[in-house]
Structure formats: structure tokens, C-alpha cells
Structure 1
Amino acid sequence: VDQCYMCDLCYMTKCPYTPPHEWNLDFPHTMLRAKAIKFKKGDVGAAEKFLASTDVHGQFAGIPIVVQAVNAINKTKVARSVMESVAGVDKDAWLPELATKRFRSAAPEAKATTVKDGEKTPGKVAIFSTCYINYNEPGIGLDLLKILDHNEIPYVIVEKEQCCGMPKLELGDLDSVEKSKEANIPVLVKYAKDGFAILSAVPSCSLMFKQEIPLMFPDDADTQLVKEHLWDPFEYFMARKRDGLLKTEFPQKLGNVSYQIPCHGRVQNIGRKTEEMLKMVPDTTINTIERCSGHAGTFGVKKATHQTAMKIGKPVFKAMATMKDGSPPDVISSDCPLGGHHIAQGFEVNGLGAPELQHPLSLVAKAYGLK
């Protein structure tokens, strides 16, 4: 149970006892049940609870001087040793920096939401920022907005939001997941009822609204409606392309790109949509790896599991280090921002070179000539 980090892939691709088998086994959620029992019994420590409270430590983001001080301190050996002994964060694990300006503050004003006649896919978008994009890497969210603007797709930023609840779900803290749901669903359902496509740039956050929360609240009509209107960004872009509404001229090539499909992207059953869009860019070669990086949220940074996470990811690091023709990649990329940094660290630890790390949305923005 402690080694399960809820990737869900056993249910999707490995386990032979899933429906229509008579045993009807959902192994990941059997593990979730065990985690919930463990949490209820009080067997989850305060350090783990704090590590999963992304809205708490993210509050420092965007505060002048404080951000720079926190980021600088977190890089020192002394601070990392203290964090390892007190909070259980491995001193060698990569940790995200806090952003000097939050995404929700840095985002341009919302575009007018006038929908063109004849559009099949939703012609307007509501952005669910996610904790990571808002507090740590707002540039990814800003690149998404540039792509939407370039394709003349009006957008708004969701009025208010809390953490989707995924870190709490991994702990078995289902009461906190319900609190997140009660905060987010009433806000998001308004956009769903108004015909918005709701986009989240982090696969785990999308999965919460597409799968986990709907499974927990199957009879909640608002939750099910949000599920129907929640899109992965590249799932949305490829739907727009099928409807002839996506611009497909890319003036900037990307070179050799090694791209990893994260587990929580695969579980959404949307196909290789990111790969499809990246392959549209001229003079660009994509080396796609469909295997778990091992990061798995807090699993990848905890002292008890960091080395295991690196071991799980080692086949991915090696596969991404060489293109099909034997040449090294210019860029490595993953839809999961945390997984991407974990892979970059794997390259460094295993002496596989130091290619540039870019999120797929940033790569597409570059290919469009927007950065």
C-alpha cells in the first residue's frame, strides 16, 4: 500500500481482472481504500500532511524578497539536511522554486467571450490554474494563454480555486478531498453550464475532475457536468484541429524532442494528443516514451521513496537520452511539469547529458513563434 502512488496504470494496462472480468477488480482504488483506513487510524504523520498541503506552502509565492529568500535557503545543504530530518524530504530530490509572480496575477486580462458561429468544439475556454502553475511555473500557463490567443480562442481564468485535492487523495485524506471538491465544483460548474471548455495544464489535476472526484461523488450532478467539460489542453487543441479551427502553420522548428507521456495523461484515455500536435511542427523529430517517470507527486521527493522513484524512472531516462537515429535530444519534455524535472534530474544523475527541459505547451508556443 505504501509503495502504491496511484498511477492507475495497472487498472488501465496491466491487470487482467478488470471489467468485463467477473472479478471486476479496481486495484488502484482498493489501494486508495487502504490508504484512507490508514489515514483515519492516524498513521500519517504531520510532515506528510504538510507536504501535501500545496495551497499552504504556495502562499509565499509572489511575495517580494520572501520568495527570493525561501528559494535561496532551499538550495543550501544545511536547509536541505534540516528538511530531510524534519519533513522527510530527501536532500537530493529536486524541489520546485516559488514564482516571483503568481500565474493568476501575471495572466493578461480575460479575452471577450464571443463565440463564432459554426464552432463545434467549445469556442471559449476557462483556465483552472492548478497550484503548481500558479505558485511555481506560471510561464507554462502564460504560454497556454499565448496559444489560445494566437488561435483566436477567447478565455477567462477561473474566478477562484483551491488545490484539486490530488496530493490529499494520495495520502488517503478523503475528507480534505471533499473540502476541495466543495470549494471548486460550485465555481467550475458555472463555466460548464455556460458552455466553456475547462482546461487544466497539469494531468493529475485534470484527472481529479475527470475521474477521481466523479468516482467519489457519482450522484452529484454538478460534479458529473464538470467532468464532461474538463479537457486536457492538447485534447482540446486536437479537437479544434478536427473541426478545422486550429492554426497549423509553425514558423519555428523544435529540433530533436524526447517526450514522455505521463501516467495521469494516459489514464485519461485521450490518446497521444500532445505527440500529435508536436509532430505537426516542420523539421521536428519526436521520440515518444510511454512509461512512468517514477516521480508520482510527493513520492518522488520523500526520503523513504526518492531513490525508488529514481530507479523506476531509470529506463525512461535512458530511452529519452537517444533519438531513433542515435543522436541526443535537443529538448526533453513531459506534460507533467514535476515529472519533467524528475526526468531532467535523472539525466544529470545518470550522466546522460543536459538537454533543455521545456513543457509541451512552451514548445508549441515557440513553434508558433510566440516566444
Structure 2
Amino acid sequence: MREGGLEAPFRRPLDWENPDFYDEAKLDAEMRRVLDICHGCRRCFNLCDSFPRLFDLVDESAKGEIETVASVDFKKVVDACTLCDMCFLTKCPYVPPHEFDLDFPHLMLRYRAVEAKKNGVGFADRQLAETDRNGALATKIAPLANWATDCSHHAARNALEKVAGLHHEAVLPKYSKKSLEALAKETPVEVNREAPGFGRKAVIYATCFGEYNDPSVGLAARAVLAKNGVETEILHPHCCGMPLLEQGLIGEVAASAKQVAAAFEPWIDKGYDIIALVPSCALMLKFEWPLIVTDDPKVKRLAASTYDLSEYVVGISRKEGLAEGLSPIEGGVAFHVSCHSRAQNIGRKGAELLGLVPQADVAVIERCSGHGGAWGYKTANFETALKVGKPVARQAQSSGKAYIVSECPLSGPHIVQGMERLDAEAKKPALLAHPIEILARAYGVK
């Protein structure tokens, strides 16, 4: 590999079942090798807070080099990583096949895996990662759960901050009274047999967020797909494991991958595509799982059969063409491209989807919102998350659009909260959970 070569980058499988993966001396040596290269390059200075923390550690050390940074301080760098993958995919010139062989996010993941194996995962973090269990319970008491987690209820939120470490001002996801699967069964849709895309079949992977928190994206997706002739089923076999991955629990992620892949296998056999509603979940199915579970053909087959929601709809428009009946949406849309949408390397499919609406007026914001999954909710990170996302909030505020939408369901509320910090009195755009809801409105379907 020569410097500046044009060979396509790739990621190596995670060698998490090898005992050397958890060897602390070998981990420290690799941390020092990689962080020294990052220190010498500094190209990622304006991404997440990991890199400013790293550069400050080096600059404030005795010799201004990585050799005089204490190993214990590397944790500060690791704790700031949100596994967004933007450094690997958009900035780093030293990813494989370059001889430096850098994969910063997966090195941070390895550090967390070593921590988890040695010390376990903290009680609060472990409970927050149990998204299926939490969602199944919370939907049964949704009004109470939503009341207790609302920012206006100071006593409850202060207690939650003490117990779970979630900042009392962070806007937390609401819970639905009924799951997406249940709502879909109650409200069947008719497939448009006259649509150019008639004959397609797809299973919508509900994801934890779509299943328990906000079914609107799944219902809008089903309605738009039915309008375009696509027969759909909605399933949620299990969480994709992203919250577990953030904690370094790679073995549990592998178990989730095998369970979900086995559940979708019969549908793939019958010719169904798989559509993930949330970009992070699509990223897990398409890219992370095959790097973690390298020997399961079902996981590989699922990865090859999975589409991001925006990617799938844009694919219909390009191949068969969309069904007629779209109307303009007044006021325009400020669209935030989420990091895990970008990490799928599929282009700005959400923006392309919005561009399918007649007379589309779309302001695209392609920058990190700062949220980073559960990371941005935590007391230690909340203010930093708002700081990182401030440029996005500023662009959304100045766009003057009637709607704001991100493909990431956690980024949207976080951006709006950042806008309120900029100017609490300014008129705010209406927040929608996904671009598919704009398309559903343009079709006049629910």
C-alpha cells in the first residue's frame, strides 16, 4: 500500500474471541501506537470530544508526546467516543489497507471490552442497555413512565439523575402505549397493486425505538411502501445490540446477531428484503455483525439483505419509479444527516428521499448532532453533547424551514434542545422523527 493510494478502505473482523484481545499490556501498546499517530496527524480535531481530550493530554504532558501520557488517562479519551465511526469513514487517511492499519472506533471498543471483562459494567449502564426489557415494561405503564421522565417534573428527574446518571435537562424518549407490532396488527393496510413497485416484499425490522418508543416511523414506512406496491410485515425479534456494543459487551451482541438472523432467515428464504427503521440498527445488521460473527452464514445473508429505510425507498424510485399522488409540502425541511446514516456509505439517501417530494425545499445539515446514543443523556456528557451539536442547531435555526428531521430518532430532539439554548424565544420548526413522515404527508397516508 502506497501513501495516497486509491485502494478501497476496509475494516478487519473484531478478534474478540482471541485471549490476546483482552491482554492489557498488548492493549496499552496498541493504544500508544494508534494515539501517537493520531497526535501526529490531528485531522480529527473537530469531530467528537475524544480527539480534543487526546490532544490536550499530549500537549500538557511532560514532553508533549504520547510517551509521557499516563495509561490511566487513556480512559478519558475512550469515554468520549460515541462509536459514530466518522473518524474511520470520513477523516482518517490511515485506515486499512494503509500499513498503519488504524481503526480508532474499534480500538475504543476493544478498550471497553477489556474494561467490561475485568470490572463488569456499571449497574445503571447495564440497565439502560436492556432496551427490549425496558421497552416492554414501559409500554405497559407508558403514561406514568412518560410523566416521570419529563423534564418538567424536577423531583423525578433529579432522582433519576442520582440513580441512573441521566442529566435532568436531557430530553428522554417517550414510550408508546402500544408496540409497533401491535398497532400494525390492529390497522392493516392495502397494497397498491397498480404501483410500479408492486411485487416487492419486505420485512420492516421495528427496532427497539420503533417498537416501544415511537411507532410513527414504522407506520409511516408501512403506509408509503403499501402505496408503492410493497407487501410488508413488521417484526421485532430482538434488539440489534448497539447499546450493548457501547458498553463493550461484544459476546452479548454476537448472541443478539444470531438470534435476529435466525428469525429473519425464513423471510429471506421467501424473497423478502429487510428494512431497518433506525440507521444505527441498519449499521449493526449490515456492517458490525458480520465483523463480530464471522462464521454464521445467516448473519452474512441478513447483512446482504438489509436496507436502511431511506435507501430502500430511494431504490424503488430509481428502479421502478414511485407511485403517483405526491403533493408539495409547504415551508421546507431542514434535514440532518445522522452519523450512522453516513457510516453506511450509501450517500445522503434521506436527502434524496425528501427530494422526491414535488417542489422540495430541503436544507441539508451534514454534521454530528453531538448526541451519540445514550452517551448524550448522561450527566457527564450532556453539556459537551450540546456543545458538539451547536453548529447543527445554529444551521437548523437559521434555515427558517417549517420542519426539522433527522434519520436518527435521538438526534432530532437533541437538535431542537440546542436550538432552544441558542434562542428560547425563536419560533421552532415542527420536529418529525424521520424523512419518511414527510413522504407520508406528501402522499396523504398514515
Q: TM-score, normalised by structure 1?
A: 0.92
Which residue does the alignment assign to 2:336?
260
Of 290, 296, 309, the match for 1:233 = 309
Match status 1:56 vs 2:133 = yes
When residues 283 and 289 of structure 1 are mapped into structure 2, their CA distance, relative to the original with a 3 A threshold, is same
Mapping 1:137-152, distance limit 5 Å: 137-152=214-229
Task: Please tell me whether the aligned partners of residues 110 and 155 of structure 1 are also in contact (alpha carbons under 8 angstroms).
Answer: no
Of 30-39 and 181-190, deviating more is 181-190
- Aligned partner of residue 203 in structure 2, secondary structure: strand
Which residue does the alignment assign to 2:90?
13
Match status 1:69 vs 2:123 = no
Mapping 1:244-323, distance limit 5 Å: 244-247=320-323, 249-323=325-399
Q: Deviations over 1:103-158 (max 9, x none)?
A: 11001466799999x97x98101011001111110111111111011111111123
Which residue does the alignment assign to 1:354?
428
Q: Deviations over 1:287-340 (max 9, x none)?
A: 0011110111111101111111111100111112123xxxx1111100011111
What is the identity, as a one-letter code, of the residue corresponding to 1:229? S
Mapping 1:151-230, distance limit 5 Å: 151-158=228-235, 160-230=236-306
What is the identity, as a one-letter code, of the residue corresponding to 1:247? A
What is the identity, as a one-letter code, of the residue corresponding to 1:294? G
Structure 1: distance between partners of 2:114 and 2:100: 23
**Shift in Å, 1:245:** 3.6
Q: Which has the higher contact order (CA 8 A, sep 6+)?
A: 1
Which residue does the alignment assign to 2:5?
none
Of 391, 409, 414, the match for 1:342 = 414
Structure 2: distance between partners of 1:29 and 1:110: 42
Task: Please tell me whether the aligned partners of residues 255 and 283 of structure 1 are also in contact (alpha carbons under 8 angstroms).
Answer: no
Structure with greater Cα Rg: 2
Structure 2: distance between partners of 1:259 and 1:138: 20
Structure 1: distance between partners of 2:97 and 2:292: 21
What is the identity, as a one-letter code, of the residue corresponding to 2:261? I
Task: Please tell me whether the aligned partners of residues 257 and 293 of structure 2 are also in contact (alpha carbons under 8 angstroms).
Answer: no
Q: Deviations over 1:225-278 (max 9, x none)?
A: 000000011111111112124225412424221100000000101111111121
Which residue does the alignment assign to 1:365?
440
Mapping 1:95-114, distance limit 5 Å: 95-108=172-185
When residues 257 and 111 of structure 1 are mapped into structure 2, their CA distance, relative to the original with a 3 A threshold, is closer
Task: Please tell me whether the aligned partners of residues 277 and 308 of structure 2 are also in contact (alpha carbons under 8 angstroms).
Answer: yes
Give % identity. Answer: 39
What is the identity, as a one-letter code, of the residue corresponding to 1:74? T
Of 208-217 and 42-51, deviating more is 42-51
When residues 43 and 219 of structure 1 are mapped into structure 2, their CA distance, relative to the original with a 3 A threshold, is closer
Task: Please tell me whether the aligned partners of residues 193 and 229 of structure 2 are also in contact (alpha carbons under 8 angstroms).
Answer: no
Structure 2: distance between partners of 1:202 and 1:7: 14
Structure 1: distance between partners of 2:144 and 2:320: 48
Q: TM-score, normalised by structure 2?
A: 0.77
Of 104, 116, 119, the match for 1:39 = 116
Task: Please tell me whether the aligned partners of residues 6 and 170 of structure 1 are also in contact (alpha carbons under 8 angstroms).
Answer: yes
Structure 2: which 5+ runs fail to align? 1-77
What is the identity, as a one-letter code, of the residue corresponding to 2:291? L
Of 138-147 and 245-254, deviating more is 245-254
**Shift in Å, 1:189:** 2.0
Task: Please tell me whether the aligned partners of residues 258 and 333 of structure 1 are also in contact (alpha carbons under 8 angstroms).
Answer: yes
Structure 2: distance between partners of 1:232 and 1:238: 10
Structure 1: distance between partners of 2:440 and 2:221: 8
**Shift in Å, 1:175:** 2.2
What is the identity, as a one-letter code, of the residue corresponding to 2:412? G
Task: Please tell me whether the aligned partners of residues 214 and 224 of structure 1 are also in contact (alpha carbons under 8 angstroms).
Answer: yes
Structure 1: distance between partners of 2:324 and 2:409: 25
Task: Please tell me whether the aligned partners of residues 61 and 101 of structure 1 are also in contact (alpha carbons under 8 angstroms).
Answer: no
Which residue does the alignment assign to 2:169?
92
- Aligned partner of residue 284 in structure 1, secondary structure: coil
What is the identity, as a one-letter code, of the residue corresponding to 2:175? L
What is the identity, as a one-letter code, of the residue corresponding to 2:355? K
- Aligned partner of residue 93 in structure 1, secondary structure: coil
What is the identity, as a one-letter code, of the residue corresponding to 1:31? M
Structure 2: distance between partners of 1:193 and 1:214: 19
Structure 2: distance between partners of 1:125 and 1:7: 27
When residues 241 and 283 of structure 1 are mapped into structure 2, their CA distance, relative to the original with a 3 A threshold, is closer
Task: Please tell me whether the aligned partners of residues 96 and 102 of structure 2 are also in contact (alpha carbons under 8 angstroms).
Answer: yes
When residues 24 and 114 of structure 1 are mapped into structure 2, their CA distance, relative to the original with a 3 A threshold, is farther
Task: Please tell me whether the aligned partners of residues 67 and 99 of structure 1 are also in contact (alpha carbons under 8 angstroms).
Answer: yes
Structure 1: which 5+ runs fail to align? none
Q: Deviations over 1:342-366 (max 9, x none)?
A: 1111111221542100121111100
What is the identity, as a one-letter code, of the residue corresponding to 1:355? P
Aligned residues: 363
Task: Please tell me whether the aligned partners of residues 200 and 229 of structure 2 are also in contact (alpha carbons under 8 angstroms).
Answer: no
Task: Please tell me whether the aligned partners of residues 164 and 208 of structure 1 are also in contact (alpha carbons under 8 angstroms).
Answer: yes
